[in-house]
A and B are shown apart, each in its own frame.
Chain A
Amino acid sequence: MNAAHLHGFAVFGGAYEHVPVRLGPGAYLGMACAAVAFLAALGARWDELVRRPSVTAILAFGLTGGLLAAYILPWLTVHAPRVGRGPTGYQIVEVGNVVVPFIALLACFGLPLWGPRTPPGRRLVAAVGLAVLVGGALNSLGGAPWPYEAWLQLGCSLGLVSVALATSRGLRISRMPVADLAAAAAAALLVISMFLPWEKVCGPGHGACATHSGWTETNSAAAGGLAVILLVLLLGFRHLFVELAVAAAIYVMAAGFVTTQPHEQGHLGYGAPLGFAGAALLLVAAARRLASVPTDRTRLLVRFAPTTACLCFLALPTVTMTGRLSFSLEFDSPWRVYWLWFELAAILLALRLLGRWLADPGADDELVLLPLALLVLTVLDVILARRAFGSITWEGWLSIGLCMLLAVLGWLERTSGLERLRIPEEIWRIDRLPGES
């Protein structure tokens, strides 16, 4: 998918320069590595695969494969017959740059659910979630003529829903707790709002206005993808991932800030307030977890440092996303919009870590592993920013420093416990030599 996208991007540039382009060695090496990893995963689970699979499982695998293949097809059509004899003669069909990785993730996650021992409700929820995401990605096409790969995407996703429905004969819908039901309703409201106009852009004076749905803007589309994943996990696995809820709310907030920037001509469409309401309700659902935080004063004081460090780290990508920083601050940040997926992963990991520090996990491996994962991510992000822009800024160093501080605090908590941590008396004691006054 990455090779196809980059190739299409280069073909577009090459068309202006009259330069033919081709895939380079990195693409072949990357695709070979992906194929080897895929075969290794197949080999590891070969015993399960050689058992006679059901017809529905084969059908579902085929439909999922067709769906993923539809995104690998070329997205740039030169001399497209649908466009007619216009001045350009080509059509760019780039459906949902942000939504497609969510689709690929959910499609791969959904594959093992077609096994015989999985409750039918899980695959139904995953298939519906996939169809919603595909609908969102196609929604970003607007009124443009649909190419055949768009129809293939829609057909495969609806086919998966049909197969899931056909195999859900034993489906039982158990009652959810009210809190989870409220969270599901909030996420559903956010997802519905994504299909409505989020932004209205009008020309100068009384010029014509155009509207864009939530799936077309980067931050709101990321929020929509997170909300769909949240719904799949909540309805299918009955587990509310607070990190996903808060991250979706953060992205909705950023979308609001970006759309209403003073120098832009965009205004909020009527879908945006619905999205804001959904995000606010998600935050309320997430805040209910705070009730389970132990209120022991000593403990809260001891954990003040790690929770503050988590919040400081979280603030760096979050504030950058809003587009309200000065140009130099935003440009210097390693969390600028070019690295959307690193930004999203860092926010999710930081939220998870914050939750672990606020909860009472005891000797928790995650307190060490999460900061280390954040450190790897931050270092990679800083390296990429250095390659692209030639410098490492104070925001990059600050992010790395916070990750290291969090890793040390997590290690101390895991080994001896921060509350029992004492500085050895020998360090403080001042022994006076005989004869000294």
Chain B
Amino acid sequence: MSRRLSLFVLLASALTFLASLFLRWVQSGIGTTGVLSILDESISYDGWGPYGQAAALVALALAAGAGASLMRPQLPRRLSLLPESPCSISRF
């Protein structure tokens, strides 16, 4: 897989993940189904639980890193936080 394609996929998946957190992550198994389930008043939670928030931060960082690498490939290298960082996105 080419480097740019990987970055595009990372960017798209991170942003879609963020969008998914606004949808229903848990809902009651009874009641209306399909499109009408949006109107269901029973138990439902969106994805913004404590772990969802932490995952959102990682997704934001991933999207920012992938976006920056696509637009300005030199930028992540200039901003590397750690010497020989094992998690540097610029190594992609």
| A144 CA to B82 CA, complexed, in Å | 40
Of A20, A27, A40, A118, most buried by chain B (CB within 10 Å of CB) is A40
**Complex partner residue of B24 from A26, A98, A112, A239, CB under 8 angstroms:** A26
B50, chain A: closest CB distance, angstroms: 5
Q: Please, which residues of chain A bring their CB within 8 A of the CB of B29?
A: 19-22
| A346 CA to B57 CA, complexed, in Å | 11
**Interface: B73 (CB within 8 A):** no
Contact, CB under 8 Å: A10 / B43: yes
| A98 CA to B53 CA, complexed, in Å | 11
Contact, CB under 8 Å: B3 / A44: yes
- State which of A30-38, A202-210, A255-263, A410-418 sits at the interface with chain B: A30-38
**Interface: A201 (CB within 8 A):** no
Size bin of chain B's contact surface: 35 or more
Q: Please, which residues of chain B bring their CB within 8 A of the CB of A44?
A: 1, 3, 6-7, 92
| A365 CA to B68 CA, complexed, in Å | 12
Contact, CB under 8 Å: A26 / B50: no
A241, chain B: closest CB distance, angstroms: 8
**Complex partner residue of A101 from B16, B19, B54, B82, CB under 8 angstroms:** B54
Contact, CB under 8 Å: A7 / B60: no
**Complex partner residue of B25 from A17, A26, A98, A339, CB under 8 angstroms:** A26
Q: A34-B17, A36-B13, A101-B54 are contacts. A6–B47 as well, Cβ < 8 Å? A: yes
Contact, CB under 8 Å: A365 / B75: yes
| A376 CA to B67 CA, complexed, in Å | 14
**Complex partner residue of A113 from B17, B51, B86, CB under 8 angstroms:** B86
Residue ID in chain B nearest A239 by CB atoms: B82
**Complex partner residue of B47 from A2, A20, A98, A376, CB under 8 angstroms:** A2
**Complex partner residue of A341 from B24, B54, B91, CB under 8 angstroms:** B54
Contact, CB under 8 Å: A13 / B43: yes
**Interface: A149 (CB within 8 A):** no
A interface residues, Cβ below 8 angstroms from B: 1-3, 5-7, 9-10, 13-14, 17, 19-27, 29-30, 33-34, 36-37, 40-41, 43-46, 97-98, 100-101, 104-105, 108-109, 112-113, 115, 118, 233, 237, 239, 339-342, 345, 365-366, 369, 373, 376-377, 380, 384
Sample 17 A-B pairs with CB under 8 A, ordered by A number: A6-B25, A6-B47, A6-B49, A9-B26, A24-B24, A24-B27, A24-B44, A34-B17, A44-B3, A44-B7, A104-B54, A105-B54, A109-B86, A340-B53, A341-B53, A341-B56, A365-B78
